[in-house]
Each structure stands twice: as structure tokens, then as C-alpha cells.
Amino acid sequence: MKKLIVANWKMNMTKASGISLVKSLSVKINRSNSSSPKVVVCPPFTLISEISKILKSSKISLGGQDCSTDSFGAFTGDISPLMLKDLGCKYVIVGHSERREHHNESEKIIKNKLDLALSLGLKVILCVGEKMQERKKGNTIRIITRQLQLSISKKCNNKNTIIAYEPVWSIGSGVTPKDSEICDVHNFIKNKSSQLSIGDKPFMVLYGGSVNPGNSKNILSLQNVDGALVGGSSLKLKSFLDIIRS
């Protein structure tokens, strides 16, 4: 199975810088061989339309960073999954820890987003993970179990849903869990997600949490790590290419 590398630009990039980066990245990825990882870029919504045009003939897929629980309506500032699909998105991230923290998103909201996105044909990248205080109390598995149970529905399968494990305490800190800890959590997520969904095939599980060129080769070589959700290191061509090539 090919690895999957997802760039989450978050609230970064101007129109000029975003277009420049994705053009350069597309040239490099289009020259890659068939065994290279699959790449998804998730820019801010303001750039999706322009970047979609650039990626029409590219090996790179386009994704959204979040979506609404509704397709249309009086929801000022929200972006529906239908709008993302209309602009050429194939993927959407839901449940990112920054959405949970800064926008108080509950598991119910996340599940509603996931269900609607799947019903419209988007592939969903569902983020789960524990905070530092939860980790210190030994509650990592309990927290992730709850997140999976309340978010995954019978619409999910290993083709339309991807899980991203993002230890919240690691994001942007430069610190990552021990290799054995990553393996243990990824193994648990694979087993648990397949129990909660259609069929019994395990889902792809990405690792997200301070992934950079210095640690990506090791992380991506670990058992049950099927790819990476990359934040800050996806904003520079060289660092993101180094991760893809690792």
C-alpha cells in the first residue's frame, strides 16, 4: 500500500505564495515514480479554487481543512462539503485538535461533518488524539476509543475514511512520542476502527504531530504508520519534499 502524505497549510499562505509552492511541488511530484507516496494538499479555503486549476493535471489531490455539518443554509462563514467537492476537493479533514480546542467542536459535530462529507463522496481524514494531561494520567487509549466510537459510523470503510493520530501535546512542539508508543496507538486504532465500520479491513492510519524532515523517515518506517499529516513542514518546498521522499 502506498503511503499517504497530507499537507495541512492551516491559516497560512497568501495567494501568490500558495500558488508558487503548489506549482513547484506539482512539477516534482509529477516526475515521481509509481512507488512514491500519494500526496494531498489542504490549503485555506481562499486558495482552493486557484489551486484546483493547477492540480487538474497533477498527481496531487486537493483537500479541505474542515467543513460544515450542512450543505447549504444561513451559516455565516461556514464552508459546506458540497462546496469543497464543487471546487475539486477529493478529501477533507475533520476533527482536527485545533478545531476541537478553538471552536469547541464536539464529537457529535465531528460525526455530522464526517457523515455528510462521506455521503457527498469525499474521503474523510478523521483526527484523533490525546492532550498532555490525559496522557500523563494514562488515558490515551480511553480518549481515542471515545473519539472513534462517537465519530465513526457505518458509512465508514477503509476506502473512504482515514484516521490521523495527532497527539495534541506534540503538535508544533517539536516533540514526538516514542516509537513504541506510536506503534501501540496506531495498532489500536486499526483494530478499533475496523470493528466500528463496514467490513473488517483496517483503515489507513496517519501520524500527525511535529512531523519534519529530521524524524519523518523513522516515523514512516514504523509498523502501522501509513503516512503523515504534516503541518508547518508542508509550508516549504524542500522540507515537504524531504518528508515525501523519506
Q: How crowded is the C-beta side of 80, counted as CA atoms within 13 Å?
A: 14
d(CA 183, CA 172): 21
- Residues 243, 228 contacting (CB under 8 angstroms): yes
pLDDT of residue 198: 72
Catalytic residue among 134, 166, 181, 186: 166
pLDDT of residue 111: 98
pLDDT of residue 154: 86
Kindly give the confidence (pLDDT) of every residue in the chain, 246 residues in length, as a single tens digit, with 9 standing for 90 and above.
899 999 999 999 999 999 999 999 999 999 998 889 999 999 999 999 999 999 999 999 999 999 999 999 999 999 999 999 999 999 999 999 999 999 999 999 999 999 999 999 999 999 999 999 999 999 999 999 999 999 998 899 999 999 999 999 888 777 789 999 999 999 999 999 888 887 778 899 999 999 999 999 999 999 999 999 999 999 999 999 999 999
Q: Work out the widest C-alpha separation in the chain, in whole angstroms.
A: 49
What domains can you pick out in the chain, each with its CATH number?
4-245 (3.20.20.70)
pTM, two decimal places: 0.96
Active site residue 166: yes
Q: Of 82, 87, 38, nearest to 58 (Cα)?
A: 38
Catalytic residue among 96, 105, 130, 186: 96
pLDDT of residue 176: 85
Burial of 207 (0-12, 13-18, 19+ CB in 10 A): buried
Outline where 71-225 has alpha helix (H).
81-86, 97-102, 107-119, 132-136, 140-151, 179-196, 216-220
pLDDT of residue 168: 92
Q: Of 40, 42, 25, 34, nearest to 2 (Cα)?
A: 34
Active site residue 101: no
